[in-house]
């Protein structure tokens, strides 16, 4: 029998850890390594053998150093806390497998989506999201999903191979762990494979929607994101031994609950027979529909009735135009000046193409009284970036309309993603006379929430009544 213990030691300032095996001699051991067992097999002899093995294990030439990429402070913490627990090793194994899955599918995932997935896995302390990513990235699951969608009839599950069935079961379990509310065994819902999932593959260019790109985006495991915000803390210079002054910030605790967005995708049985064409069409439809809806709600969502709050809707700092039902060049200067200095370095303008054209014409190129405030490519206003948001209002002569926004969008607006699109196959679609149409369909849904969490970081221009 072998006795195993954990040995910690340092050599030349580096920390080492190794599992040391104490060998209790037996007949095979004597034959293989007689030099180790020169002493008698008495208790004293065995103790001497263990001491020799321990000294060999302590020799850095016989040991491997800790992970060179790991922070030495982490290694010190490991020594204080003892050997890593089984749970932590299991989580790390799950995360490593998810990262390998992302790497293996790198040719099918764009760089932005890949970075998003890697960040999600690296921030996953519980291993739940990592298991989901790894499960839906499995090629066996993609094959099983295709069979289930293209054969939307009872008993289609019997067509799956053993590997595909295991992949389906694994994804169903990961969905249950993530509490998505639908699992294979419950209501017939399926997670969409990695390369078809628009909550992962952010590749659509339907509506012009830079708000997701500019905002702070966070994936979550729970049903509600709970954060802590403040206007900031302040340092001060003081004399030696001077008492600290009360500079406590005002803290707020915003909450964002992702809302469900759903869609219905019918397709003919003939189309279902061509999975390559259907999968490409599903990818395009899912991505475009998601992008279109998010472009709308991220700008002007109500923030109620199960709809995320839009950036313009949630803006609390409003600058009215100087004149009624009109926007002038002075209003642009006033809007920029209204934003606090701390938010100016990363500030961005938001508006429609029509508003940009109007701002561009405020000062003609040959005007000698005022310099142009916008270049010909409409890329900036007064030296700050301008981004087109097609779902904002262009009604610069209508009272009450918010037509221009300016601020630090990353600080002001937060988007909370629940990664994963779920579909429920419907095997038969019925027509107006309640007879089959030769079509099947997919009921699909995902969850996302958004809210203005730091109102002071954003200013909007409102047309005066």
- Write down the H helix ranges in 245-274: 269-272
Question: What's the pLDDT at 174?
Answer: 84
- Report CA-CA distances (Å) from 39 to 3, 20, 27, 35: 19, 20, 14, 9
Rounded to whole angstroms, the Cα distance separating 11 from 14 reads: 5
- What lies within 8 Å, CB to CB, of 201 at 6+ separation is 109, 110, 113, 194, 195, 283, 287
> How far is it, in rounded angstroms, from Cα 439 to Cα 109?
31
Q: Which whole number is the average pLDDT over 418-424?
A: 85
pLDDT for position 105: 81
Which two structure tokens, joined as six digits, stand for 290?
């998601």
pLDDT-derived band at 2 (thresholds 50, 70, 90) equals: very low
Which range has highest mean pLDDT (79-88, 138-147, 279-288)? 138-147
More confident residue, 60 or 449: 449
Pairwise CA distance, residues 25 & 32, whole Å: 10
Helix axes 111-122, 86-104, angle to 10 degrees: 180
Contacts of 113 by beta carbon, 8 Å cutoff, 6+ apart: 200, 201, 202, 203
Q: What is the mean pLDDT of residues 270-283?
A: 80
Reply yes or no on whether the pLDDT at 60 is more than 60. Answer: no
- The answer to whether the CB of 415 falls within 8 A of the CB of 449 is yes
d(CA 134, CA 153): 28
Which has the minimum average pLDDT: 33-37, 313-317, 346-350? 33-37
183/150: higher pLDDT: 150
Q: What sign for the dihedral angle of Cα 429, 432, 437, 439?
A: negative
Q: How many other β-carbons are positioned within 10 Å of the β-carbon of residue 80?
A: 6
Task: Tell me the pLDDT band of 153, cut-offs 50, 70 and 90.
Answer: low
Residue 448 confidence (pLDDT) above 90: yes
SS3 163: helix
Q: Do 461 and 321 meet the contact criterion of CB atoms below 8 Å apart?
A: yes
User: Rounded to whole angstroms, how far apart are CA atoms 41 and 215?
Assistant: 70
Which residue reads 């490519």 in tokens? Answer: 377
Query: What's residue 292's pLDDT?
Result: 87
Indicate if the pLDDT at residue 110 is higher than 50: yes
pLDDT at residue 385 in the model: 96
Rounded to whole angstroms, what are the CA distances from 392 to 123, 161, 221, 311? 34, 50, 31, 10
Q: What's the rounded Cα separation, in Å, for the pair 407 and 340?
A: 9
Measured between alpha carbons, how far is residue 94 from residues 82, 129, 316 in Å? Answer: 22, 9, 43
What lies within 8 Å, CB to CB, of 230 at 6+ separation is 249, 250, 251, 252
**C-alpha closest to that of 180 among 104, 230, 128, 122:** 128
Whether 148 contacts 171, CB under 8 Å:
no
CA-to-CA distance for 326 and 197, rounded, in angstroms? 44
The sheet carrying 458-464 orders its strands as 318-324, 458-464, 402-407, 348-351, 384-388, 380-381
371 or 130: whose pLDDT is higher?
130
Output the average pLDDT for the chain.
Answer: 78
pLDDT band for 5, please (50, 70, 90 cuts).
very low
H or E stretch covering 445:
strand 439-452
Query: 373, 293, 342: which is closest to 456 by C-alpha?
Result: 342
Range picked from 76-90, 133-147, 187-201, 221-235 for highest mean pLDDT: 133-147
pLDDT level of residue 357 (50, 70, 90 thresholds): very high
Each residue of 176-227: pLDDT tens digit?
777 644 333 344 578 888 878 887 765 555 456 789 889 998 877 667 887 7
- Phi, psi dihedral angles at 387 (to 5 degrees): -125, 135
- Contacts of 415 by beta carbon, 8 Å cutoff, 6+ apart: 211, 212, 215, 216, 217, 218, 298, 308, 448, 449, 450
**Window from 74-83, 116-125, 147-156, 213-222 with minimum mean pLDDT:** 74-83
What is the per-residue DSSP string for 59-95?
A: SGGGS-PSPTTS-HHHHHHHHHH-SPPHHHHHHHHHH
Segment (H or E) for 6: strand 2-11
Q: Where are the alpha helices (DSSP H) in 137-161?
A: 139-150
pLDDT(38) > 70: no
pTM: 0.70
pLDDT score at 275: 77
- Residues present in the chain in total: 465
DSSP, collapsed to helix, strand or coil, labels residue 443 as: strand
Q: Tokens 């208790």 identify what position?
A: 43
CB 360 within 8 A of CB 378: yes
Q: Which residue has the higher pLDDT, 419 or 249?
A: 419
pLDDT tier, 461 (very low <50, low <70, confident <90, very high otherwise): very high
Both tokens assigned to 87: 């749970």
**190 bridge partner residues:** 423
* Mean pLDDT value of segment 20-34: 49
The mean pLDDT of 107-135, rounded to a whole number, is 82
- Least confident stretch, 74-78, 233-237, 299-303, 366-370: 74-78
- The reported pLDDT for the residue numbered 359 is 93
- Tell me the pLDDT band of 23, cut-offs 50, 70 and 90: very low
Report how far Cα 77 is from the mean position of its chain's Cα atoms. Answer: 29
Asked if 267 and 440 count as a contact pair (C-beta separation under 8 A), the reply is yes
Residue 240 has pLDDT above 70, yes or no: yes
- Rounded Cα–Cα distance for residues 130 and 101 (Å): 10
């Amino acid at each position: 029998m072998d006795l195993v213990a954990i040995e910690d030691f340092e050599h030349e300032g580096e920390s080492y850890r190794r599992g040391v095996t104490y060998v209790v001699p037996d007949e095979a051991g004597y034959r293989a390594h007689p030099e180790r067992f020169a002493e008698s097999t008495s208790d004293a002899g065995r103790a001497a053998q263990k001491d020799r093995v321990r000294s060999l294990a302590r020799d850095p030439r016989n040991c491997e150093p800790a992970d060179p990429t790991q922070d030495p402070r982490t290694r010190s913490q490991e020594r204080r806390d003892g050997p890593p627990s089984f749970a932590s090793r299991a989580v790390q194994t799950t995360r490593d497998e998810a990262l390998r899955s992302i790497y293996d599918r790198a040719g099918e995932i764009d760089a932005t989506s890949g970075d998003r997935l890697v960040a999600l896995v690296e921030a996953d302390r519980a291993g739940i999201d990592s298991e989901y990513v790894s499960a839906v990235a499995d090629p066996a699951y993609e094959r099983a999903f295709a069979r289930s969608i293209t054969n939307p009839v009872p008993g289609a599950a019997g067509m799956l191979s053993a590997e595909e069935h295991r992949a389906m079961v694994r994804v169903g379990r990961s969905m249950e762990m993530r509490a998505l509310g639908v699992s294979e065994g419950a209501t017939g819902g399926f997670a969409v494979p990695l390369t078809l999932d628009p909550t992962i593959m952010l590749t659509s260019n339907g509506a012009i929607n830079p708000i997701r790109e500019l905002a702070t985006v966070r994936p979550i495991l729970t049903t509600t994101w709970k954060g802590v915000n403040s206007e900031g803390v302040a340092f001060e210079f003081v004399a030696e031994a001077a008492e600290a002054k009360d500079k406590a910030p005002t803290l707020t605790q915003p909450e964002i609950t992702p809302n469900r967005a759903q869609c219905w995708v019918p397709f003919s049985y003939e189309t279902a027979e061509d999975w390559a064409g259907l999968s490409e069409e599903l990818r395009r439809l899912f991505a475009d529909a998601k992008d279109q809806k998010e472009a709308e709600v991220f700008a002007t969502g109500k923030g109620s009735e199960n709809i995320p709050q839009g950036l313009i809707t949630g803006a609390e700092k409003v600058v009215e135009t100087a004149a009624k039902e009109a926007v002038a060049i002075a209003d642009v200067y006033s809007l920029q000046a209204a934003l606090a200095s701390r938010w100016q370095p990363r500030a961005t303008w938001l508006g429609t193409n029509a508003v940009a054209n109007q701002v561009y014409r405020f000062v003609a190129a040959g005007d000698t009284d005022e310099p142009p405030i916008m270049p010909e490519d409409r890329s900036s206003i007064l030296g700050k970036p301008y981004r087109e948001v097609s779902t904002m209002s262009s009604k610069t002569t209508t009272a009450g309309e918010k037509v221009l926004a300016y601020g630090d969008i990353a600080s002001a607006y937060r988007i909370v993603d629940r990664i994963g699109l779920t579909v429920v196959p419907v095997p038969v679609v019925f027509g107006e006379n309640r007879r089959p149409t030769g079509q099947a369909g997919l009921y699909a849904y995902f969850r996302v929430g958004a809210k203005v969490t730091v109102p002071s970081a954003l200013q909007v221009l409102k047309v005066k009544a």
